[in-house]
Structure 1
């Protein structure tokens, strides 16, 4: 089964990949472990980004996420293993069917043999 990214308001999903709902946790939040809410969330929103101190388009915020995601994959073996375990899962986010940071996650998972 292929890994897919779905709209969590319309489709069933296995794993929530957005930011944490209570504390806005994300992939860069210290202390958030794989599987905890927000662990795959994109810290770079469309519009004003407090991290970068600039405005992002959808495309730019996905590219910023990609940089953070690959950096974390290469530096955190526990994170990498947890992401690999998502192979074949339905990843739920609010963005789909528009371009989404989940597409970055899916593409990396599907590229691993």
Structure 2
């Protein structure tokens, strides 16, 4: 904003006390009045901007979705289960909906009921189908193909604690955990 000189009418910046053309004194009252006018103009523009913002449709912003915990794999043999505070595999499974058995089926023995196999079980066996590393890689190829075809859904295991007999050695459960955490939808 500029202030007109009363003598020559040249527009001068507000931060000068004398006209840059004729060196006439620029009245402090005129400078103050001009600054106040500028403040009122800005206040009016701010009021208008607030009215425009208030008239806009409001968007509801949802809070961020909670993050899914990482998928993990634990050993479910009797000793490991006891260390975790469980009497049996059944007790471990019943303790949380986040516990998921991903091993093969087991026949009934010693008075214990049969354990059904998981759709996530590894059909490849160490020895018959190769080394531990071989069967884990075969499982990776096998399960990736099933996921691609839509036969299984990784959301079934994502964020869960997967139970298998292999841990802490190389395990198909590690493959599942890796794939589940990598394929977030």
> Fold match, TM over 0.5?
yes
- Alignment of 1:59 with 2:133, yes or no, is yes
In the other structure, the counterpart of 2:70 is 2
Structure 1 residue 37, shift from structure 2 partner: 2.9
In the other structure, the counterpart of 1:27 is none
Report the 3-state secondary structure (helix = DSSP H, G, I; strand = E; otherwise coil) of the residue aligned with 1:97.
coil
**CA distance in structure 2 between the partners assigned to 1:104 and 1:88 by the alignment:** 14
Of 166, 170, 174, 1:95 maps to: 166
Report the 3-state secondary structure (helix = DSSP H, G, I; strand = E; otherwise coil) of the residue aligned with 2:128.
strand
Deviating above 3 A after TM superposition, structure 1's stretches of 4 or more consecutive aligned residues are none
Report the 3-state secondary structure (helix = DSSP H, G, I; strand = E; otherwise coil) of the residue aligned with 2:163.
strand
**CA distance in structure 2 between the partners assigned to 1:8 and 1:98 by the alignment:** 13
The structure with more radius of gyration: 2
The root-mean-square deviation of aligned C-alpha atoms, in Å, is: 1.9
Structure 1 residue 7, shift from structure 2 partner: 0.3
In the other structure, the counterpart of 1:46 is 126
Higher-RCO chain (CA-CA 8 Å, sequence separation at least 6): 1
In the other structure, the counterpart of 1:16 is 101
Structure 1 residue 76, shift from structure 2 partner: 2.1
Per-residue CA deviations over 1:52-86 (Å, capped at 9, x if unaligned) read xxxx0100000000110000001125x12xx2132
Q: Larger % of helix: which? A: 2
Which structure 2 residue ranges, 5 or more long, are not aligned?
1-68, 82-91, 94-98, 108-115
**CA distance in structure 2 between the partners assigned to 1:2 and 1:76 by the alignment:** 22
Structure 1 residue 87, shift from structure 2 partner: 1.6
Report the 3-state secondary structure (helix = DSSP H, G, I; strand = E; otherwise coil) of the residue aligned with 1:38.
coil
Q: Larger % of strand: which? A: 1
TM-score normalised to the size of structure 1? Answer: 0.73
